[in-house]
Structure formats: C-alpha cells, structure tokens
Structure 1
C-alpha cells in the first residue's frame, strides 16, 4: 500500500471516530457570520435546523440517490455560507436584499472584476464543504438507524412548526412584504435565499409598475414661472414637536422664518403610519383602499418626466428593503436616481447642487432620514442645541431641529432662482411613555399622533414676483394622499381630467372623510382614532383594502 493511500486511510479513520466533533465544527463554521450580524435567537434556530439537516442527510447517504441529494444539499449549504461569510468579511454587514439585488443584476464581466475581493475566503469555503461532507459520512456510518429516523422526524416537525407559525403570523398581520417562502427560509441554514426571493419579487414589482401604461386624455404643461421644484420627503416628524405649529421649544427657527413666503397646512394627515405605504400613496394616485400597481404607476415623478421636467431622486434611505420597495419602484421612473449611504441628511446636498445645475425646469425629490428612530443618531454633536435633561426627548427634538437646518440649506440654494419647495413628513410618531426612546411608529391600535404631520409649500422671491401664489395657513384638514393632485397643480400640469382633489384648483371642496392605514394594512377612519397614544382605547373598527391591492 502506498504512503498516500495509507495516510488517507489514517486520516479518514480519525475523522470517522470523531464524527460528533466534525458535526459541531461544521455547524459552527456555518454560524460564523451569523454570530457577528444576527441576534442569538436567530443563531440558535439556524444551529438546530443545520444539525437536523446533516443528520437527515446521513440517513440517506449510503445509497446512490442519497449521495446525490447530499451533494446538492451540501452545495447549497456551502453557497449560503460563502455568501454570508463574504458579506460579513468584506462589508462588515449581514446579507440583505440590497446585496441580493446586486448579485441578480451582476453580469459576467462585473463578476470577474469583483472576484478578487472574495478569493481569500475560498480556503474557508472549501474547508467547510469537506468538513461537512465527512461529518455526514461519519454520521451515516456511526449513528444508529433509530437516531437517524429521529433526526428526520424532528426536521419535519421543525420545518412544519415554523412554516405554520409564519403562515399564521402572515395572516394575522396582513403583512404582504415578506413572502411565506422567504419567512420559512429565514429559519434555516439557507437564510440568504430569503433575500433573493424578496429581491426577485421587488424587481418584478418595479418592472410591473414601470410597464403600466397610464392614459391621460390631454397631458399638458402650463407655464408657472418656476424653474426649480424641490420636494423634501421628511421622515417620522411629529407636527406637535415643531415650533412652527406652536411647540414650546425652538425646533424650527428656519421654517418659522420662511413662513411669510409659504402656504402652510395646519392639519395635514398622512395616509399611513409606515414609510413603505405612506410615501407611495403621497406621490401617486394610490390610497389606503386602492393600493394597486396601476395607481402606483400613475405617480408624480413619472408624469413630471412625461411633461418635460428633468427628474431626479436623491435618497438617504437606500434602494431596497421592506421600507423602500414600492418607493423605489416610483423613484426608478425618474431620469436620475442617487442612493447615498449617509450618516446625516446634509450629505445629500452635493447631489442637489449638481442636480440644480441641469438646464431647464427640474423636479427633484430629496428623501431624508429626518427624525426616524433612533433619533439620537440623526444629527452631529454640533447640532445638539436643545437640553432639557430628558435624553430621548432632547434627541428627538434636536433631530427635528436638524431637519429644519437641512430645509434651510436647501432654501438657500433656491433663494436666488425662480424656485419652490414642498416639504412634508411621510408619517408622524406616537409618544409612548413606557418606551425608553419615547417615540414609535403607529401601533396596531394607532392614535391620531401617528398620522399628524407638517406640510408647507415655500416660494423663492423670484417665484413670488412672477405670479400670484397662495400663501398663509390652510385651516382645513388635508390628507397628504391628495399631494399627487396638489403637485399636478403646483407643477402646472393638467391631464385632461378634472383635478378637484387639489387645494390649488378653484373646484376644490373640503374633504370630510380621511382613511388611514397602519403598518399591518388595517384601514381606519382618522376621525374615529383616539387623540394620543395614552388616550383611552376606543377599539376603533377597521377594514381591509379593496380587492387587487398589493
């Protein structure tokens, strides 16, 4: 017997006699990136499912079909590990939908150019494959048939349990963002596959909205005397925490100074308490009862582009994920999109400067992080102006003030041209005294606080001089779900359809019913909601969206 064959037999024998150690090493290697990026409960679920999968593979390993199945299973486990490990190793991040979208969009040449980043992890990946293969082989040889059967039964119970639990949760929450298959994979060692499912679905959604053919009887642009239109989509700003609306702290000195040249909405109401639902409804014809692809396709970004505006979307909120998928579909209809990884919203300003240099009339959207939780992270130390002794109250109000500063920086850039600025928040926040951080998104039993938002339209001196503008305070209640109609009038666009939902049209009449949606897709009548989070529970009735809603 040759030395090589003898050595191989000795190594194989030693590995076989320590099959439990091999199993443990395999599971730990798979969990390596998980330990650094996910909570402990996630790692425990993955470890349990991984162990049961390897034991089940050992139960079928000895026959040829079993070896083929084991090879496929092990290849998928290795691929999952390679993706998660490289994401953590290179980017210090968990694998998410953004990475999945990037992989799906990558072509061969780009893959080759990027491969150098990941080659150093190849030895670890190969080691994982062979350690796991020997672990399965050793388990098949040394575990009793009863243990193997128990492993298969427990795996079936594990998958069935989490599948049923996630199915029930999906039904209870009316949550449609995470497909059931994605939820199930999240609890397995194939968890990166969950992000690919979401990425593929989001890509399909964007394509579906882009392919919708919206017909306008007579689309026309009418001269407005304004060259630059900028929309700031705020985030998690409570109207009641703004000095402009009577708050007792100096949170909005800039906006208060701009008020004399603005149309300010006293009682603006957001259509939803979550960004992913509110922003698309504000920018399109969709509403809580009709949240459909064709309504989302009829959006202000698309129609502004069709009427000759140069359109740009500049965002601090990322180009994928649960909070952005419908928003990205709308943003993608613009001529230029900028997804900027920012620490503070002011980092969007250079992109705005470049956009304003484009000749002709422009429609620019700035989607900021505003005062989203955790508010303490939304502004630099130099912007920590307000001090009352309550840390999280101060954090939130300083974040509101930093947004005010950002609005001022945008207004400075528009001051010397014929320009107009529309600012609104996507939704409000509820104040929960039981939370350390105080403020939270609208709950399953929301109050009006979750929907009460600021909104105003400001005009530069040149814009005010060119035409008569509506200024002052709008005292009527206003649903920002009607902002699509409002912006049509603001931009000087007519579609051939009467636009009486716009406050700027002579045919407008005050709205009396306001439908709002919580994050779980429950629809309420705003007037029936309790005033604040700490107000007595009214057990407000709710309904679901109309058929065909997304």
Structure 2
C-alpha cells in the first residue's frame, strides 16, 4: 500500500482510542436526553472539531478492533499484524518519536494484540507496564500527568497513542462525582460519556499549550449495547456504531474522511490507517484505498468475518 515516504506532514499526531463508546449517546451525534459531550460540542460550535457521521468499527471486541487502527491487520488479513510493519514502526521510520500511554493493560487474551503493538513505541506506559514512577492505573485521570509531561518532549515530530478505559463495564466505576453532579438524572453510562468528554477536553487544552501544532483523531474501539455489553453474538449493529471526530485546523483530514468512505457510505475503522499514514508523511497507492472501499468487512466476536450488512442479529438466532 505504501509507495513513498516524504517529510512528516503533521508535526504532532494524537490518537485517542476510546472504549465501549456508543455514538448514539453523544450530544454531538444528536442525543437529546442528556448533555453528555458539552466540551466537544463547544469545540464543534467553534469550528475546531469535525464530527464524522455514519462511522462504524470493524470489530466488536477491543483485541480485534485496536490493531485495525495501527496496523494492516483487518478482517480478511489477520496475519498482517505480525507479517507487515505497523504504524508505530512506520512513524519511527519517518523520524517521529512515538508514545503509547494507556490506562488499559496489554497482557492476557483480551489485551495482548494491542499490548504487542504498544511495545514498538519509543515510550510506553500502561497500568501493567513501565509504571513504577508515574502510577498509571485504570482510572483515565491517572494518564493526565504523563500526557502533560510527554507533550512537552522537545522532539520535532511526535506520535501519541492514548488508550483509555472510557465506558467499559462497570459504568459506575467510570464516573466521578463531578460527572454525577453535572448529570444527576442520567444513568451511569451517560455519566461515563460525560467523563470521557472532560478527559478529552483536558488533553486538548494541554495540547494547545504544549504542542500548538497538532492534529487529533478520536475514535472508539467499538460501541456498546448499554446495560448488556459488547462482543455479543446476536447483538447487532449497536455495538458497532462508534463516535469519530477530528481536531484538524487545516480541515484536510476532515475532507479526507469523506473521500475515503466505504462504497456503502460508511466511514469504517480500517480507514483510520489511511488518515494516519498521510499525517505521517506516507503516500499510499490509491488503488489500495479503492480496494478497501469495495468491501465493508468486519471481524465479529465469533472470530468469523462478515459483510457489515450481514452481521449476526437477533433474527439469526435459532
């Protein structure tokens, strides 16, 4: 896919990967019951953020979904997680200093595929790795001091992956009193979305101060059937409808999203790598993008691949 390398086009790239985040519960996607995303909505209103409509993940489990963002692994080419260079390696090859900062762990059957990717970074800290000094744990707030410190790194080109717990069950564990006070009549899931909105706003404020010149991509790994979970065999489409947005002052990547939508009209998770490769200063063969657009394929929790229009739903249960 990659045909040429040119000097880095974006000096500082930030990818924030959310967890179990359902677009249907975001104010920025038209949710009216609660004001779950006031900070991001404010940035949308001031034309700093573009919201990607009709986006879906390419898997309904974190261990499948996250590698699709940062490697050439996809539903039909699962071997490429190991047989091809990943985007962390490619960033380093083009003189980016790379950072992986996570409140998620990277070991065990549910985590190792993205834990493996994280360890290609120049700097990595997770709740289970390289954590003696910074005390990162599963609370997303614990990442903020590390993020602030690493944003101040003097390297000219930097690539950051920030992997948060977000709205993973139990939802009540993913909220603080501030979120409860802000949305006192909301359920715990909505309060957890509000908390992610606050965390993202703090990351953006730090980036404005420390980095200034940067582009930020937010995407969830997959979505959530609220009160049920994800990786549900007959759970249908709700567990795939993710929020995606870009803080992109140039608006180049806001437009690129629209240009690389799948032929069925969706923006899909496997397209993230094309955005990131362009940000990193790599040219990609247009034919490879067109080939990816032709089929909207997902890797479901049963380990099988499906066309998105044919994923298992309740009507398929026998």
Please indicate the TM-score interval, normalised by the length of the shorter structure. Answer: 0.7 to 0.9
Partner of 1:351: 146
Partner of 1:455: 244
From 373, 376, 386, give the equivalent of 2:183. 386
Matches of 2:286 and 2:117 in 1, distance apart?
A: 21
From 1, 4, 13, give the equivalent of 1:229. 13
Describe the shift of the 1:387–1:332 C-alpha distance in structure 2 as closer, same or farther (beyond 3 A).
same
Q: CA deviation at 1:303?
A: 0.6
* 1:469 maps onto 2:252 in alignment: yes
Rg larger in structure? 1
Contact 1:344–1:379, Cα closer than 8 Å, also in 2: no
Alignment of 1:526-537 (within 5 A): 526-529=308-311, 537=315
From 41, 63, 80, give the equivalent of 1:256. 41
From 325, 328, 331, give the equivalent of 2:112. 325
Per-residue CA deviation, residues 226-259 of structure 1 (Å, 9 max, x unaligned), is: 4221110100000111111011120111111222
Matches of 1:527 and 1:289 in 2, distance apart?
A: 16
Matches of 1:310 and 1:354 in 2, distance apart?
A: 14
Aligned-pair RMSD on alpha carbons?
2.5
Partner of 1:493: 282
Describe the shift of the 1:424–1:430 C-alpha distance in structure 2 as closer, same or farther (beyond 3 A).
same
Alignment of 1:81-120 (within 5 A): none
Matches of 1:245 and 1:294 in 2, distance apart?
A: 32
TM-score normalised by the chain length of structure 2: 0.85
Partner of 1:407: 200
Structure with higher RCO (Cα < 8 A, 6+ apart)? 2
Contact 2:16–2:162, Cα closer than 8 Å, also in 1: yes
Partner of 1:445: 234
Contact 1:268–1:455, Cα closer than 8 Å, also in 2: yes
Alignment of 1:86-235 (within 5 A): 218=4, 220-224=5-9, 226-235=10-19
Query: Which SS does the other structure have where 1:453 is aligned?
Result: coil
Per-residue CA deviation, residues 21-50 of structure 1 (Å, 9 max, x unaligned), is: xxxxxxxxxxxxxxxxxxxxxxxxxxxxxx
Alignment of 1:306-345 (within 5 A): 306-340=93-127, 341-345=136-140
Q: CA deviation at 1:223?
A: 4.5
Describe the shift of the 1:294–1:368 C-alpha distance in structure 2 as closer, same or farther (beyond 3 A).
closer
Per-residue CA deviation, residues 356-410 of structure 1 (Å, 9 max, x unaligned), is: 121211001100000000010012222213233xxxx611010011001111001
Gapped regions of structure 1 (runs ≥ 5): 1-214, 432-437, 503-507, 541-550
* 1:396 maps onto 2:195 in alignment: no
Gapped regions of structure 2 (runs ≥ 5): 128-135
Q: CA deviation at 1:414?
A: 1.6
Query: Which SS does the other structure have where 1:527 is aligned?
Result: helix
Contact 1:243–1:252, Cα closer than 8 Å, also in 2: yes
Q: CA deviation at 1:296?
A: 6.3
Matches of 1:500 and 1:255 in 2, distance apart?
A: 35
* 1:364 maps onto 2:149 in alignment: no
Partner of 2:132: none
